[in-house]
Amino acid sequence: MANDPKTPEIAREQELQQQRKRYTQFSGNQPTVENIRMSLSVKDVQGEKTGELVAALKLIVLDKDKIEKDAFSKEISACFDKNLDNDIVQVMCADALVHIDRAQGIELSRKILDNPKKSLDSKLLVAKHLVNEKVLIGYSILLEGLLTPDDFQRKNIVLPLLYAFFAYDGKVYGEKGEMIDIKSLIADAKNNTKEQKVLDDLEKAELKYSKKSDK
């Protein structure tokens, strides 16, 4: 039936076709293994080359069961190091590695989260990718995110990320045994802002959390 939900296999195949098309549009080349490796080798990527590289990384993840993981892990790590000033490339390199070399991907993700020069946008995207894979270290940047004066960013990125962490309340997220504490996090955010729009969003989050806790 036309309204039947997509199976994971169909959704994956459609995403593969889309990313292959994007790769060819940006690079002018077919998405062969050799061409994808060539894309990963470029230093200081800018402009359309960023789109090419992002598509290449997504193709690697989608085909992760068919690729030579050890070789690609090294090449993606090298790509991360070659593009220190391109946040989106570094974020996508870290995300791709989480899928094919989990420990290395988490290490690169941590480098972004701990780097004061990286934008909040980049850190939030890393945290989103990680929590989707049940990796919790991105919790560390939620307080900064909740306090952002950017209404769109707070409502559409930070709050959904906060809600994703509700499922892990009380779990350890840090290397030193730090624990996720949603109630205290919201309270800390409320104590560190006088912006009414921020406070309004925090009140909504607090209410949502209390309803979940009462179940």
pLDDT per residue over 66-118, tens digit each? 888 898 999 999 999 999 999 999 999 999 999 999 999 999 999 999 999 99
Mean pLDDT score across all residues of the chain: 94
| Tokens at 160, concatenated | 């959904």
Q: What is the pLDDT of residues 109-164, one digit of tens each?
A: 999 999 999 999 999 999 999 999 999 999 999 999 999 999 999 999 999 999 99
Tell me phi and psi for residue 176, to 5 degrees. Answer: -100, 15
**Three-class secondary structure assignment of the chain:** CCCCCCCHHHHHHHHHHHHHHHHHHHHCCCCCHHHHHHHHCCCCCCCHHHHHHHHHHHHHHHCCCCCCHHHHHHHHHHHHHHCCCCHHHHHHHHHHHHHHCHHHHHHHHHHHHCCCCCCHHHHHHHHHHHHHCCCCHHHHHHHHHHCCCCHHHHHHHHHHHHHHHHHHCCCECCCCCCECCHHHHHHHHHHCCCCHHHHHHHHHHHHHHHHHHHC
The torsion angles phi and psi of 172, rounded to 5 degrees, stand at: -75, 135
Distance between CA atoms of residues 12 and 7, nearest Å? 9
By the 10 Å C-beta count (0-12 exposed, 13-18 middle, 19+ buried), 111 is classed as: middle
Q: What is the pLDDT of residues 4-26, one digit of tens each?
A: 567 988 999 999 999 999 999 99
| Number of alpha carbons in the 13 Å side-chain half-sphere of residue 95 | 27
In the chain, what is the straight-line distance between the N-terminal and C-terminal CA atoms, in Å?
37
Sequence-ordered list of residues with C-beta below 8 angstroms from that of 33, at least 6 positions apart, any chain: 67
Residue 175 pLDDT class (50, 70, 90 cuts):
confident
Query: Token match 């969003």: residue?
Result: 201
Q: Which pLDDT does position 1 carry in this prediction? A: 44
Contact (Cβ atoms closer than 8 angstroms) between residue 132 and residue 94: no
